[in-house]
Amino acid sequence: MHGSLAAKQMASFSLTAHTMGVPLPEGMFINPIDTVNKQWRNYLAANCGLDEPLGLSLYVEFCRDTIKVAVTTASHLNIFRLKPVIEKLNQRQVGLGWLVFGIINSATANGYPIYKIDDMASMASNVWYNGEGSDEAVAELLREYEGYGPEVTLACLKDENLFPWPSDLVKAVDGHEWMLGFWDFDTKTNRPIRRGEKPKTCSLKEARTFLKQPRANQTLKAVVSNALALRAELHRKNSKLIDAKRIIEDVVDSETDYYPVVGASCAVVWDQHEQLFEAVEHSEESDMNSGEMTDVIYTFSADPDQESQVTELIQSMQDFVKRHAAISRVLRYFPKVM
């Protein structure tokens, strides 16, 4: 085939991916780079489904002597309500819902981006509370900042400051304060302790027993089955996703620079979302206004002339798709905030 060196490298990359289980797209080959990206879009859709609910994009770019792949956040963000499904699971088997809840929370391993409940509570704390986690402590901070005396009541301060207060976040999670990740300092042990009591989960053995029950609800069985599959994927030791670079090389000038990633694949809330997601909007707006942010989640790169590097790059991309698909197959059973 005649053509530029870059075009030949793209064709070689597509063929190698094809032999590794990423089928070439059908139809006419208009140009190499479009073929490469269509090949991976098809692979993503085949693994996650055409209606997959997670908002990330994968782009392949051929630069001088380098193949670069970037996974970026998308502008649309689905928000999933966990309460309806988790409570049904707990009704069928004590602690089964909390097991699934914990697996979903752990899906952010290796930097996979999900706005979790405790992440959003942490954003609220950083934006409004200066690290505090109770209404009274926030009120004291505001009195000190504004120069108010103790006669200015908590109710008056709430009327003046309409952001979601810690008690509003507790209401948003139906009193499950442990979900927020707020901490108190225990003066007896000189250690921080998580606020609220975390409920016990059932064992993996009990979850697998639930799957064997012939009369169990098929949808709930699918949730548990896919959650256990996600857990197995998270613990897979040969995944290349662990080695992915989270900050794109030409964004960071030195080892001490840090650019926050704006966006995620989705957000999960317990039931109400307004109070928690307001913190996300304020936090993202602050990052974007600073001009020091990126929407790049992962980057992978390889020298196109090094066969071993190209193979490892493709494996890394496939491992990202496997993780993405495993999370997608769990969350598609949870209702979205409309």
Three-state secondary structure readout of 79-137 = EEECHHHHHHHHHHCCCHHHHHHHHHHHHHHHHCCCECHHHHHHHHHHHHHCCCCCHHH
Q: Is residue 148 part of a domain?
A: yes
Range of the domain at 139: 134-163
How many whole angstroms separate alpha carbon 252 and alpha carbon 21? Answer: 34
Q: Is residue 158 part of a domain?
A: yes
How many whole angstroms separate alpha carbon 142 and alpha carbon 150? Answer: 11
- The reported pLDDT for the residue numbered 103 is 97
Q: Nearest Cα to 115, choosing from 260, 317, 316? A: 260
Q: Are 321 and 71 in contact (CB under 8 A)?
A: no
Q: Are 334 and 80 in contact (CB under 8 A)?
A: yes
Q: Is residue 142 part of a domain?
A: yes
How many whole angstroms separate alpha carbon 106 and alpha carbon 117? Answer: 12
Measured in whole angstroms, the distance separating CA 251 from the mean position of its chain's CA atoms is 21
Q: Is residue 297 part of a domain?
A: no
Alpha helices in the chain (DSSP H): 5-19, 32-48, 83-92, 96-105, 117-124, 135-146, 154-160, 166-172, 204-211, 218-234, 274-290, 307-331
Q: Is 77 helix (H, G, I), strand (E, B) or coil?
A: coil
In the chain, the number of structural domains is 1
If one counts every other C-beta atom within 10 angstroms of the C-beta of residue 101, the result is 25
The backbone torsions φ and ψ at residue 68, rounded to the nearest 5 degrees and listed phi first, read -120, 135
Q: Is residue 199 part of a domain?
A: no
pLDDT tens track, the chain, 338 positions: 445 888 888 999 999 999 999 999 988 887 888 899 899 989 998 998 877 788 888 888 888 788 988 898 887 889 999 999 999 999 999 999 999 999 999 999 888 999 999 999 999 988 888 877 788 889 988 898 888 888 888 999 999 888 999 999 999 999 999 999 887 777 778 787 888 889 999 999 999 999 999 999 999 999 999 999 999 999 988 887 766 654 434 444 444 455 678 889 999 999 999 988 899 988 888 878 777 778 888 888 899 989 999 999 999 999 999 999 999 999 999 999 97
How many whole angstroms separate alpha carbon 186 and alpha carbon 193? Answer: 6
Q: Are 306 and 67 in contact (CB under 8 A)?
A: no
- The reported pLDDT for the residue numbered 258 is 56
Distance (Å) of CA 124 to CA 24, 150, 166: 46, 25, 9
Q: Is residue 147 part of a domain?
A: yes
Q: Are 325 and 43 in contact (CB under 8 A)?
A: no
Q: Is residue 111 part of a domain?
A: no
Using the Cα atoms of residue 40, residue 44, residue 45 and residue 50 in order, give the sign of their dihedral. Answer: negative
Which residues fall within 8 angstroms of residue 195, CB to CB, at 6 or more apart? 133, 177, 178, 180, 182, 183, 184
The terminus-to-terminus CA distance of the chain in angstroms comes to 51
Question: And the tokens for 135?
Answer: 């209404």
- The reported pLDDT for the residue numbered 253 is 45
